[in-house]
Amino acid sequence: MCAAPSAASPTTTATGEDPIGLFESWLAEARKGEPNDPEAVCLATATPDGRPSARMVLLKGVDSRGFVFYTNLESRKGTELAANPQAALCFHWKSLERSVRVEGPVERVSDEEADAYFASRPRGSRIGAWASTQSRPLEGRWALEKRVAEYTMRFGLGEIPRPPFWSGFRVLPRRIEFWRSMPFRLHERRVFHRDEAGEGWRVEMLYP
């Protein structure tokens, strides 16, 4: 017979499971079955006084340290993260009927990481990073196309360096929730909490 759960923490147990490994396996399945952008994720940020905003970005890296995306540092999300370095991510793979939510503080990636990723982007995307003053008002499409033409001429056939205002952020996960659709809306929800030392995880089940 199984022992009764602890009254102090009825649903929480220590675990040797690796939520990052579980996320990577779910992402691998999504890459096989999701028709468009399986790496797409909703990023939520907030101002220092708590006004939230959310938008879609693309996940560009994940490992034991966290979840990485890149952006213009002067964009709305960039300035909000600079002022309030906390974020949440929500992945939703409709074809798999699965979702993953990630919450935690953020840090800037190293210049070396940002340089390496920027160099891997298509040339047009690198020029676009220079041309777009992201999140600022745009007079018309012609104004953007003019700036793209100007930077195309500026760099010619030479190398395109990473703009000083463009880099990446890493969300350092403190909480990761895995959601799976189940019949009669009795969905499965498993939440991993990183311990204070940052060396392990505890897991709990939640009511749907």
Instruction: Encode pLDDT of 102-158 as tens digits.
Output: 999 999 999 999 999 999 999 999 999 999 999 999 999 999 999 999 999 999 999
Q: Indicate the pTM of the whole model.
A: 0.90
- 170 included as an active-site residue: no
| Start-end of H helices in 107-196 | 111-120, 123-131, 141-155
- Cβ-proximal residues to 63 (8 Å cutoff; 6+ apart), any chain: 20
**Per-residue confidence at 3, pLDDT binned at 50, 70, 90?**
very low
pLDDT at 161 > cutoff 70 = yes
- Homologous superfamily of the 12-111+165-206 domain (CATH): Electron Transport, Fmn-binding Protein; Chain A (2.30.110.10)
pLDDT digits (tens, 9 = 90+) for 92-102: 999 999 999 99
Q: Which two tokens stand for residue 204?
A: 């709990």
* Class of residue 89 by CB neighbours under 10 A (exposed 0-12, middle 13-18, buried 19+): buried
Distance, CA of 32 to CA of 28 (rounded, Å): 7
pLDDT digits (tens, 9 = 90+) for 72-85: 999 999 999 999 99
pLDDT digits (tens, 9 = 90+) for 176-192: 999 999 999 999 999 99
Out of 185, 189, 190, 202, the active site residue is: 185
Rounded to an integer, the average pLDDT of 156-168 is 97
Domain ranges of the chain: 12-111+165-206
Distance, CA of 124 to CA of 132 (rounded, Å): 12
Distance, CA of 105 to CA of 174 (rounded, Å): 8
CA atoms in the 13 A half-sphere facing the CB of 76 = 15
